[in-house]
Amino acid sequence: MEMAGKMVESRTVLVTRRDGYHEIVLNRPDKLNAFTVGLHGELMAALREAEADDSCRAVLITGAGRAFCAGQDLNERVFTDGVAPDLSENLAARYNPLTTFIRNTRLPVVAAVNGVAAGAGASLAFACDIVIAAHSAKFVQSFSRIGLIPDAGGTWILPRLIGDARARALFMLADTISAKQAAEWGMVWKITEDSALLAEAADICLRLAATPGSAIELIKRALATSQHNTLDQQLAAEAELQRQAGIHPEYRESVERFRRKA
């Protein structure tokens, strides 16, 4: 996995600091990279580290082995003496902060879905800014099969990506969707040949790294408010964000470069 970058290995997440971006690999291939408390902790630490690194301008998340992520590790859910776990605690402590972080970070986050993305594993992918998928990848809203509702932002994000009718049926029927279908429905940006996935993801990250980071951050903020604003409110929000963009040195430098035809 190591190329030019420096690799730091931890138990359930692998991080490679590449030139301009950090690559984060979910690394529990035997369990299809299902979320444990440990994986959550390492993933959040990796994301926070990327955000704190001034040389990092994008993040790539993918999975080791044949899966992207199979959602919550169900082996962590033990019903001791018939006592049910309070799942809201895990959502509040882990899944919700993860989704919020990805949505709010200054960094563009690219998901390279290399295999099955199930349950909160699919929610993780859909929380990312740009999602590409290998031809053989698939998506399943498996929550209802085990008596749960979609979480980690899934009920908010997926209907906005594919519309209520499709999201509602996927949530209730838990059909498995191919990467091709996902692309046709607008769940993902594009699909690639399996062997080309990581190269394509790297290319996207390098392009993002070469784009003014101020613009990327403000685009994320504009899209966040557009989800609930009226048109008038959003026009006002755009004006304010564009004000901020306009006084950023990256704008001035980019315009001057254009005028020099450099």
- 33 touches ligand T3D (CB under 6 A): no
Contact between 194 and 134 under an 8 Å Cβ cutoff? The reply is yes
Q: Which CB atom, from 50 or from 117, has the smaller least distance to ligand T3D?
A: 117
State the minimum distance, in angstroms, from the CB of residue 201 to ligand T3D. 21
Q: Which CB atom, from 168 or from 221, has the smaller least distance to ligand T3D?
A: 168
- 21 touches ligand T3D (CB under 6 A): no
Token representation of residue 169: 């049926």
Beta-bridged to residue 130, according to DSSP, are: 110
Total residues binding ligand T3D (CB under 6 A): 22
Query: Which one of residues 13, 24, 34, 109 is an interface residue with ligand T3D (CB under 6 A)?
Result: 34
- 126 touches ligand T3D (CB under 6 A): no
Tell me which stretch binds ligand T3D (CB under 6 A): 44-52, 72-80, 195-203, 206-214: 72-80
Nearest to 140 by CA among 160, 154, 156: 154
Query: Which one of residues 15, 43, 111, 118 is an interface residue with ligand T3D (CB under 6 A)?
Result: 118
Query: Which one of residues 5, 7, 20, 31 is an interface residue with ligand T3D (CB under 6 A)?
Result: 31
The DSSP bridge pattern shows strands 176-178 and 138-140 to be: antiparallel
- 46 touches ligand T3D (CB under 6 A): no
State the minimum distance, in angstroms, from the CB of residue 27 to ligand T3D. 14
Contact between 74 and 146 under an 8 Å Cβ cutoff? The reply is yes
Q: DSSP for 206-218?
A: HHHHTS-HHHHHH
x/- map, 136-165, ligand T3D, by CB under 6 A: ----x-xx--x-x--x--------------
State the minimum distance, in angstroms, from the CB of residue 71 to ligand T3D. 2
Q: What is the C-alpha separation between 262 and 258, in angstroms, rounded?
A: 6
In angstroms, the Cα distances linking 57 to 54, 141, 189, 210, 232 are 8, 31, 20, 8, 32
Burial class (CB in 10 A: 0-12, 13-18, 19+), 235: exposed
H-state helical runs in 106-196: 120-127, 154-162, 164-173, 179-185
Q: By CB under 6 A, what part of segment 85-104 binds ligand T3D?
A: 87, 90
Q: Which CB atom, from 52 or from 83, has the smaller least distance to ligand T3D?
A: 83
Q: What is the C-alpha separation between 111 and 139, in angstroms, rounded?
A: 13
Instruction: Note the residues at the interface with ligand T3D (CB under 6 A).
Output: 31-32, 34, 70-75, 77, 87, 90, 116, 118-120, 140, 142-143, 146, 148, 151
